[in-house]
Amino acid sequence: MNKIFKDNLGLILIILSFLSLYLLYLNPNSDLWWDSSVYIGMGKYIYSFGEIGLYEDSRPLVWPMILGSFWKLGLDVIFFGKLMVLLFGIGVIILTYLVAYELFDKKIALISSFLLAFNPTFFFFNSIMFAGIPSIFFSLSGIYLFIRGKYSLAGFLLGIAFMTRFFQIFIALPVYLFFIYLVYKKRATLRKFFISILFFIIPVTPYLILNLILYNNPFYSFLLQAWMTKFTGWIFYQQFNFYFLNLIKDNALVLFSILGIIFIFKNEKFGKFIIPIVFLLAFIPYNFSQHKEMRFLLSILPFLYILASYGIVKFSSLFKKNKNILLLLILIIGIFQVTPKLRLNDYDDKLGPFYDFVQNNEIEDGIWISNPSFIANTELKSDELIYYPLYNTKKMIELQNKLEEAKYVLINTCDIMPCPPWEGSCNQEHDNFIDLLKEKFNIYLDEGVGRCNYYIFT
């Protein structure tokens, strides 16, 4: 134990520092983000066989099942969900160290895990119950095993990562392209390649069967997610250079990743090419999507900081006698840039009137919601997700045609507006929908809150 402690003292200190800052910035009263509420609702729906919660058929099921298991056991799903994200985050830091150590050396491994741990985006999302951090843990576990030649188990974990978050396919595909390269170089066999693919498919198969049973199409959820990626999220459209600028704003030391890529391809054996190949092939597609958010890049940050660390070490070594001083100076500059930007979730959703309503009224069924958070802390089932898959003219007409099925309608207009910019009739249809609700239902709440309108119809 003493030897393990001494050999990994640097990594232990990084994790302890990470936890200390986490506790310093933690706000236990922060509200849930949208997707967190969806995952909680889906978990309850799965374990109650559709009696409680909600279901979005465009999402994978691993993270909802993990969260739902806490609820099924009678535990506080929010507390244990946040704890699990934190534990997965620590696991990602450790795996980044292990991958860098396996391919390069201890110094690069320590710098990589240090830079990742205190990247503002990574640090922040360790306090959000999204599927991002858990999915990175599974994909990095798969890559670590892949590097060590355990291809079957690597494939299985990459499959679990994909079933935790669909976008992890952008990590799995470069890995298997590199695998083909290994086969070409006779460093692996075609048989091992196909076995690994088979193990990747194992955790995906039950999901395909479920889609076939529910929708008569095994790929229904993937197609729906692709459609939603294209037609939702226009309010998050950004310029092409969004990721480049924000990665530098997070930590300017990422610029050393350019040197890292050059040095690896120039000086290292091809087995180490997996890091720049996975990074480049995963990162490039994100830049061509108009919908850009920094959380989408979480999965590539470990590879980015391994490359940056390699570039920093190799750059510093060019100065021979002063290399350690220069290395320390570079890291200090990075610390000074990053430290003021570290924060955790302190979101206040201002949805108190909706929470009060669902908690203080006896509601059995027939509840329609515009926000999954409305019922995240309840044992209610949503019979209609007003926002899903897209609140547009078609959706509003569908809602109006089955309005007799509703008993309670809870709407925060900021959840569903603005309308898609390409639908000229949408705003008028929204007004018609609200007017019809006012005509057919009792108005429990009609209140303006900032630019939002809060409605509760009974």
Query: What pLDDT digit, counting tens, does each position of 273-329 carry?
Result: 999 999 999 999 999 999 999 999 999 999 999 999 999 999 999 998 899 999 999
Residues 124, 188: one domain? yes
Per-chain mean pLDDT for the chain: 96
- Whether residue 233 is contained in a domain is answered as yes
pLDDT digits (tens, 9 = 90+) for 322-351: 999 999 999 999 999 999 999 999 999 999
User: Is residue 1 predicted with pLDDT exceeding 90?
Assistant: no
Residue 302 confidence (pLDDT): 98
Instruction: Determine the structural domain holding residue 441 and report its residue range.
Output: 352-457
Residue 182 confidence (pLDDT): 94
Residues 311, 440: one domain? no
Domain-terminating residue out of 341, 370, 394:
341
Q: What is the count of structural domains for the chain?
A: 2
User: Is residue 4 predicted with pLDDT exceeding 80?
Assistant: no
CA distances from 112 to 118, 292, 297 (A): 10, 25, 16
- The pLDDT of 8-19, averaged and rounded, is 96
Residue 422 confidence (pLDDT): 92
Tokens 């990594």, residue located: 11
Residues 292, 412: one domain? no
Instruction: Note the maximum CA span of the chain.
Output: 81
- Whether residue 311 is contained in a domain is answered as yes
- Whether residue 30 is contained in a domain is answered as yes
Residue 308 confidence (pLDDT): 98
CA distances from 312 to 165, 173, 261 (A): 32, 28, 11
Residues 366, 323: one domain? no
pLDDT digits (tens, 9 = 90+) for 244-262: 999 999 999 999 999 999 9
Residues 77, 14: one domain? yes
Decide the pairing of beta strands 443-449 and 452-457: antiparallel
Is the Cβ–Cβ distance between 177 and 273 less than 8 Å? no
Distance of alpha carbon 452 from alpha carbon 351, whole angstroms: 11
Residue 197 confidence (pLDDT): 98
Residues 188, 61: one domain? yes
- Whether residue 25 is contained in a domain is answered as yes
Domain-terminating residue out of 313, 341, 369:
341
Tokens representing residue 24 in the block: 């310093």
Which pTM does this prediction carry? 0.96
Domain-terminating residue out of 281, 306, 341:
341
For residue 206, what pLDDT band results from cuts at 50, 70 and 90? very high
- Whether residue 347 is contained in a domain is answered as no
Residues 361, 273: one domain? no
Residues 121, 195: one domain? yes
- Whether residue 217 is contained in a domain is answered as yes
pLDDT digits (tens, 9 = 90+) for 60-102: 999 999 999 999 999 999 999 999 999 999 999 999 999 999 9
Listed in order, strand segments (DSSP E) in 332-429 are 367-369, 382-385, 408-412
Burial per residue of 306-334, b for 16 or more beta-carbon CB atoms within 10 angstroms, e otherwise: bbbbbbbbbbbeeeeeeeeebbeebbeeb
- Angle CA(86)–CA(89)–CA(90) in degrees, nearest 5? 90
pLDDT digits (tens, 9 = 90+) for 150-183: 999 999 999 999 999 999 999 999 999 999 999 9
Residues 93, 207: one domain? yes
Residues 295, 368: one domain? no
Residue 321 confidence (pLDDT): 85
Cα 125 → chain centroid: 8
Residues 372, 227: one domain? no
Residue 128 confidence (pLDDT): 97
Distance of alpha carbon 393 from alpha carbon 70, whole angstroms: 38
Residues 337, 365: one domain? no
For residue 418, what pLDDT band results from cuts at 50, 70 and 90? very high
pLDDT digits (tens, 9 = 90+) for 104-121: 999 999 999 999 999 999
For residue 6, what pLDDT band results from cuts at 50, 70 and 90? confident
- Whether residue 364 is contained in a domain is answered as yes
Is the Cβ–Cβ distance between 229 and 389 less than 8 Å? no
- Whether residue 79 is contained in a domain is answered as yes
Residue 233 confidence (pLDDT): 86
User: Is residue 5 predicted with pLDDT exceeding 90?
Assistant: no
Query: What percent of the chain clears pLDDT 90, i.e. is strictly above it?
Result: 94
